[in-house]
Amino acid sequence: MKRILYIVTCLLLLAGCSYNPPQDSSMVLEAWIDANGHPVVMIHKSYVVANAPDSVRTLEKIIEEQLIPFGKVTFSDGEQEVVMTGRLDTMYMPPYTYTTIDIIGEPGKRYTVTAKYNDLYATATTTIPPIATLDSLSVQASSMGMVDVTGYMTLENPFEENYYTLFARKKGTKQFQLCPFGVFDSRDAKDGPFKMKVYNPISQGKDYEALASYFAVGDSADYQLRVARVDYPTYCFWKEYNENILSRGVLFVPIYKNMPTNVVGGIGFFSGFGSTIYQFNLLNDTTYRY
């Protein structure tokens, strides 16, 4: 669960690291909807801290104190608006989510989420682009005990701007995590298939500072890879988040600039994913073809 905390930390520490007197909180909205999936929303309050948390337990306590379990969250697909149901869900961090079974994500549709709690308010809109699909996924052991995982995609129109993200999780877990370097602009494509290197987002160490970037030989876990086409605002958010990972090493180092956001009235993100999920393991060199 340690790696899951980084996106929350990024949003909690937007205000910076120097000490300040208590400030009014903003609502932090974390929301997404996959093609053919139900929406998931998490809301909590922002928090100004003087220093980076010294442990995962400290951070978890801060986050749990800021979560909002009794907010009103509505979700609209342009045809119907529903009030989402909140429930405790320890597979996520923060450990409380809002969802609904009444709306299923469809490519091409536009969605709006609105959250209210006392005097806090946030709303955001996103779209689900056409679904992204891979032609193949290559798994090959390399030197120094690492496994190279690479996805290949044929672009329908190489001259059209499209944006993609890669998220991964171990099979049996619930929350996808952004792969390091896992944000792509199709304009970067060279001749031939669009090549996307897949890095491991799941910590290999015993503490939160052990950021992962590779898959290891001998790892017997089954992994799931979410390959998603996203709209431009979603691309901008995850690109900036990815750059924070790469430049900071860990996101417990406070952030000195605001993240780009499509959220109005608060901070955070609302992402629509035109996604396909692929399963792979690392035990044998292989190429999965689709």
pLDDT(12) > 80? no
94 prior amide bond cis, ω within 30? yes
- Is 101 a residue whose pLDDT tops 90? yes
C-beta of residue 28 within 8 angstroms of C-beta of residue 99:
no
Q: Which amino acid is at 37?
A: G
Give the H/E segment covering residue 166.
strand 163-170
Closest CA to 161 of 198, 137, 194: 194
Q: How many beta carbons lie within 10 A of that of residue 153, not counting itself?
A: 23
pLDDT given at position 110: 98
pLDDT of residue 11: 53
Closest to 79 measured CA to CA, from 123, 40, 110, 36:
110
Average pLDDT over residues 169-195: 87
| Amino acid 55: pLDDT | 54
Least confident of 120-134, 239-253, 256-270: 239-253
pLDDT bucket at 52, cuts 50 / 70 / 90: low
pLDDT beyond 70 at 98: yes
What pLDDT is stored for residue 156 in this prediction? 78
- The angle formed by the CA atoms of residues 133, 185 and 179, to the nearest 5 degrees, is 70
Share of the chain above pLDDT 90, in %: 58
Give the number of other CB atoms < 10 A from CB of residue 23: 10
By C-alpha distance, which of 23, 26, 37 is closest to 75? 37
CA distance 236 to 255: 16
- For 135-144, 222-231, 241-250, which range has the lowest pLDDT when averaged over its residues? 241-250
Residue 10 has pLDDT above 90, yes or no: no
Mean pLDDT of the chain: 83
In the chain, CATH 2.60.40 covers 136-229+277-289
pLDDT at 202: 80
| CATH number 2.60.40 given to 136-229+277-289 | yes
Q: At CA 203, angle to CA 281 and CA 27, rounded to 5?
A: 115
Mean pLDDT computed over 154-183 = 90
**Which phi and psi (to 5°) does residue 69 adopt?**
-90, -10
